[in-house]
Amino acid sequence: MCTTCGCAEGNLYIEGDEHNPHSAFRSAPFAPAARPALNITGIKTPDFAPSQTAEGDLHYGHGEAGTHAPGMSQRRMLEVEIDVLDKNNRLAERNRARFAARQQLVLNLVSSPGSGKTTLLTETLMKLKDRVPCAVIEGDQQTVNDAARIRATGTPAIQVNTGKGCHLDAQMIADAAPRLPLDDRGILFIENVGNLVCPASFDLGEKHKVAVLSVTEGEDKPLKYPHMFAAASLMLLNKVDLLPYLNFDVEKCIASAREVNPEIEIILISATSGEGMDQWLAWLEAQRCA
């Protein structure tokens, strides 16, 4: 279940499950983890109302939970968030320990739909071929199209379809990763569902989140979706080959990202022209050796 939008794991499908009649679909949300009794104090429970500016704009993110859901108090939303994220974080730590034991670099690629991250990933895999062992977990609500594109590069890949879910979670990675043949010291790329909101909250056990932002999206995207860019270690500013044809302010975009996250690294890149690819590959190698 997502703590932001309330989506569940309905119709979750991981490639290979069709051969196991006992796990074809894991459609029920996971049970809440055991935890100490909560004592959330100082939070008002009446009906939630948005704040309003002089211009009439409505803001629903000002409450203690940072979001709003019809019929739920801020207290209840915090309780749900603690339940869901507590279990996810513990599963993520188990994933991280397993990856660390094999010295595998795990990256969580996040972006809006259409940012070009699959094309960028396939080009990256072609350049790493015969140099570094790689594998990919592909996250989408439906279809196995992206996993097929990855496998066409010769890289092992598995598709995770989340159904109604808007993001991957740590349990999905725990289910999918063991099915991939990946050598020690290899790189596991996790391409998350295209969404700049919900994946920000869910640790998968990765070493870094890498946010892919294309120049066709607008330079203020980091300010509109600050939680994702605050959580990312690296921003790949993608499709820079299109800059001559767009009214896009690169410096403003970089400033927006660093306003949200002063420590974020930024690489300007294009899978089409090859610009920035060497810098991106060098970053990957540095992370493998770190």
C-alpha–C-alpha distance, residues 181 and 134, integer Å: 9
Domain count, the chain: 1
User: What's the CATH number where 117 sits?
Assistant: 3.40.50.300
pLDDT at 59: 53
Answer yes or no: is 236 within a domain. yes
Per-residue pLDDT of the chain (290 residues; tens, 9 = 90+): 565 555 555 556 677 765 443 343 333 333 334 444 445 455 444 555 666 667 666 655 555 555 555 555 666 655 555 556 789 999 999 999 999 999 999 999 999 999 999 999 999 999 999 999 999 999 999 889 999 999 999 999 999 998 888 889 999 999 999 999 999 999 999 999 999 998 999 999 999 999 999 999 999 999 999 999 999 999 999 999 999 999 999 999 999 999 999 999 999 999 999 999 999 999 999 999 98
Q: Is residue 125 part of a domain?
A: yes
Strands annotated E in 141-286: 157-161, 187-191, 208-214, 234-238, 265-268
For CA atoms 94, 96, 99, 101, the dihedral sign is negative
Residue in this structure with the two tokens 């801020």, named with its chain if needed? 74
Q: Has residue 41 been placed in a domain?
A: no
Structural domain harbouring 187 = 88-289
Residue 57 inside a domain? The answer is no
CA atoms within 13 A on the CB side of 44: 6
Query: DSSP string of 36-80?
Result: PPP---S---S----EE-TT--EE---STTSS--TT--HHHHHHH
